[in-house]
Amino acid sequence: MNETAAPRTAPLRARAEIDLAALRANVRTLRAHAPGAAVMAVVKSDGYGHGAVPCARAAVEAGASWLGTATPEEALALRAAGLTGRIMCWLWTPGGPWREAVEAGLDVSVGGMWALREVTEAARDARTPARVQLKADTGLGRGGCQPGEDWAELVGAALRAEREGLVRVTGLWSHFACADEPGHPSIAAQLTRFREMVTYAEGRGVRPEVRHIANSPAMLTLPESHFDLVRTGIALYGISPNPEIGSPADFGLRPVMTLSASIALVKHVPGGHGVSYGHHYVTPGETTLGLVPVGYADGIPRHASGTGPVLVDGKWRTVAGRVAMDQFVVDLGGDEPGPGAQAVLFGPGDRGEPTAEDWAQAAGTIAYEIVTRIGTRVPRVYVNE
Ligand SMILES: Cc1ncc(COP(=O)(O)O)c(C=O)c1O
C-alpha cells in the first residue's frame, strides 16, 4: 500500500505534518524583509521535503510571485499541477527537455554556450521564444558562466538569438558561496563581480526583467543583495539558514514541518541489555524501552545514532544505539507511555519538542538535509490549508 495515500484520519505509523499557515506567514515575513524585491519560493527537491505543489500553492497565495526549482522536471510538474505563474529552473544537462520547458513558458537558466544552443534550437522547433536567464558565476565556483571572455561570448550570442526572436533574456542571476557567514570576504567580492557582469550585459543591450543573487541567508542579512528578486528556500520552511546568524524566531519565521511517529512497543528490560544493531547502547539499569517505527529509510540520519533527540511523554529522550532502516529505540527510563503515544522527532520547538536544527546538530549536518531527506514512505499531512 502506498502510505502517502493513507486517509488523514487513519492511525499513522509516522507523519510529517506540514503547517501551510506557517508557510504562508513565513512568505509574508520574507516579503517584509525585502520590501523592494519580488519573492521566489524555492520548492526544489519536493519543497525541501515538505511537498512541492501544496507549498508552491500556499507560497503563491501569500504573495510569492515566482517559483524556483533545480530540475526542469520539477518545474514541469508544477506547471502540470496548474501553477500558471512564473517558474524558473536552473539545473540543466545536455539533451534536457528544453522544448517542453519553452512550450510550458518556464524561465530557464543558461550558463554556457551549449545550453544557449540547445534552448535556441528548441525555441525554433516550438516557434515560441524561450525565456532565458543568464547565469553568472561570480565566485561560487559551481554552475554559471565565468566572467570575462566567456560572459562576453554568452551575452553576445544571447542578444543575437533575441534579435532573431528565439529567446527573450528575462534575467541575469548568480548564487552566493558563503552568504550564511556574514562578513565573509567572498560576499562583497561576489556582489562587486555581479554588478560588473550585470553592467556589462546591460551595456551591450540586455534588458532583464529581474536581476537576482540572494538566497535565504543573503535576503535575511544583506539588503544590498536583494536587487529585483530574492530566491528563498530554507527560510520559507521556517528554518534558519545558519543558527549562528539567528534562530527562526529571531527572523520572525516558524518551522513548517513536524515529524512524529506512533510508539510501536514499550517493554521492560533488565540492566546490561544491549540495544539495536551492534549493541552500541547497553541499558545502564532496569528500564523501559520504546520502539520508534522510523529509520534511515524514512530519512532519519543514521549519523544520529546515540544522539538524536525525541520528545516522548513530555520528556526529551535520546536515540539508544543505532538507527536502523525502519526503526530505532529510545530509553524511556522506566516511564510507560500508553498505547498510541507519540514520539515527536522535531517541530517548531514551542511545544517542548526538538527542532530540525537539533537533529542537524545531533547528526553533524545542516537542517536543510534533515527536512529534505524525509522519505516518501512518511505521509505528508497538510494542516491549515
Ligand atoms: C540557485 C539557488 N538559489 C536559491 C536557493 C535557495 O537557497 P536557501 O534555501 O538557502 O534559501 C538554492 C538552494 O540551494 C539554489 O540552489
Please tell me the distance from the alpha carbon of residue 166 to that of residue 109, in angstroms, as a whole number: 15
Looking at residue 340, what is its pLDDT? 82
Ligand 1 mean position to 42 CA, how many Å?
Answer: 7
Q: Which of 175, 178, 229, 239 for mutating ligand 1's site (highest number of atoms within 8 Å of CB)?
A: 175
Please tell me the distance from the alpha carbon of residue 281 to that of residue 284, in angstroms, as a whole number: 9
Percent of the chain with pLDDT over 70: 97
175 Cβ below 6 A of ligand 1: yes
Active site residue 48: no
User: From residue 205, how far is each of 133, 145, 156, 202 by CA, in Å?
Assistant: 14, 18, 9, 5
Rounded average pLDDT over 46-53: 98
State yes or no: pLDDT of 7 exceeds 90.
no
Rounded average pLDDT over 330-341: 93
241 Cβ below 6 A of ligand 1: yes
232 Cβ below 6 A of ligand 1: yes
Burial 82-91 (b: 16+ CB within 10 A, else e): ebeebbbbbe
For the record, the C-alpha cell of 335 comes out as 516511564
Number of H helices, E strands in the chain: 11, 19
Rounded average pLDDT over 2-28: 80
- Of residues 332 and 338, more confidently modeled: 332
Kindly report the average pLDDT of the chain as a whole number.
Answer: 96
Looking at residue 2, what is its pLDDT? 42
Rounded average pLDDT over 312-324: 97
State yes or no: pLDDT of 47 exceeds 70.
yes
Active site residue 135: no
Catalytic residue among 200, 277, 368, 382: 277
Percent of the chain with pLDDT over 90: 96
Please tell me the distance from the alpha carbon of residue 215 to that of residue 192, in angstroms, as a whole number: 17
- One DSSP character per residue, 311-350 reads EETTEEEEEES---SS-EEEE-TT----TT-EEEEESSST
In one letter, which amino acid is 29?
T
State yes or no: pLDDT of 207 exceeds 80.
yes
Ligand 1 mean position to 233 CA, how many Å?
Answer: 6
In one letter, which amino acid is 284?
P
Please tell me the distance from the alpha carbon of residue 291 to that of residue 229, in angstroms, as a whole number: 46
**Residues counted in the chain:** 385
